[in-house]
Amino acid sequence: MSINSTPQVVSIAGSDSGGGAGLQADLKTFQNRTVFGMTIVVALTAQNTLGVQGSYPIPTAFVEEQFKSLAADFKIGAAKTGMLFDKEHVKCVVDNLKAVDFGPLVVDPVMIAKGGHTLLDTDAIDLIKTDLLPIAYVVTPNIPEAEVLVGYPLTNDLEIMQAAQDIQSLGVKNVIIKGGHLLESQSRDYILLESGERYWLVSERLETVKTHGTGDTFSACIAAELAKGQPIKEAILTGKQFIQGAISNAIDVGHGHGPTNHWAQLEETISVIEE
């Protein structure tokens, strides 16, 4: 085996002490998908399934030091970003990503935790649009995050499709608008690829409160598959199959919005509906 031939992936995000979202969800997902996972810690949260009790940024100089440590040794095949805390940290992450080759970048534009706690200052959003998205290969906003990125409400399929196009025009190659927040009997994500191909990935919507960290888990799985060299369409399908399996094979921890099951296997119940 040649040096560094094992697929390697890094998550640049915040720590969730409760283990269901953030860096912890990403590492568990990387492990399940058999890629070697690493982390660049941007912020810490004191958090459990009941909510976020506090958050604390890592000094940007130390974020940079972590970038340098990983770049000096590993051959990273894909990266993802999650909670980036504020404008200074977004700038630090962008500057450092430009200085290294960590492969295709998946941006999960985490803004507000499901419990309502702010994970990104609102004055950092412009920088995400102008500086982070142009260097991203994939972006995975949920509906409220997509609304913030485009500046108009998404109330029907046509508006979601238009939003994907408007987000792509910011410079990111592939756009996934996640439909976990749509109150329908199906869970539908809208995909617009670099090639112009567009489709919905549709699965049964599972009635559960155990959805803490669904977005992190989904985007981490996509990054893992990209690090293995999977094409984007396959990587996204695997992400959707993985999150469906992780929600449907529930585990029982905590008293609130429990985490998904990161040791679950892929679920094969996804439909692809071309536009």
Minimum CB distance to ligand ATP, residue 180 (Å): 2
Query: Shortest CA distance to 111 belongs to which of 97, 93, 123?
Result: 123
Minimum CB distance to ligand ATP, residue 217 (Å): 7
49, interface contact from ligand MP5, ligand ATP, none, CB < 5-8 Å by kind: none
Using CB under 6 A as the binding rule, whether residue 94 contacts ligand MP5 is answered as no
Between 33 and 178, name the residue whose CB sits nearer to ligand ATP. 178
Minimum CB distance to ligand ATP, residue 216 (Å): 5
Between CA 68 and CA 228 the distance in angstroms is 23
Query: Shortest CA distance to 135 belongs to which of 163, 95, 190?
Result: 95
136, interface contact from ligand MP5, ligand ATP, none, CB < 5-8 Å by kind: none
Per-residue CA distances from 98 to 62, 104, 156, 195 (Å): 17, 12, 36, 24
Using CB under 6 A as the binding rule, whether residue 19 contacts ligand MP5 is answered as no
Using CB under 6 A as the binding rule, whether residue 14 contacts ligand MP5 is answered as yes
70 with 76: CB under 8 angstroms?
yes
Which of 8, 9, 16, 172 touches ligand MP5 by CB under 6 A?
A: 16
Using CB under 6 A as the binding rule, whether residue 114 contacts ligand ATP is answered as yes
Residues 218-237 that bind ligand MP5 (CB under 6 A): none
Instruction: Provide the 3-class DSSP secondary structure of residue 83.
Output: coil
Number of residues that bind ligand MP5 (CB under 6 A): 16
Query: Shortest CA distance to 6 belongs to which of 224, 210, 249, 162?
Result: 224
Which of 213, 239, 245, 258 touches ligand MP5 by CB under 6 A?
A: 213
β-partners of residue 80 are 11, 106
Minimum CB distance to ligand ATP, residue 70 (Å): 24
Between CA 239 and CA 218 the distance in angstroms is 5
Position 63, amino acid: V
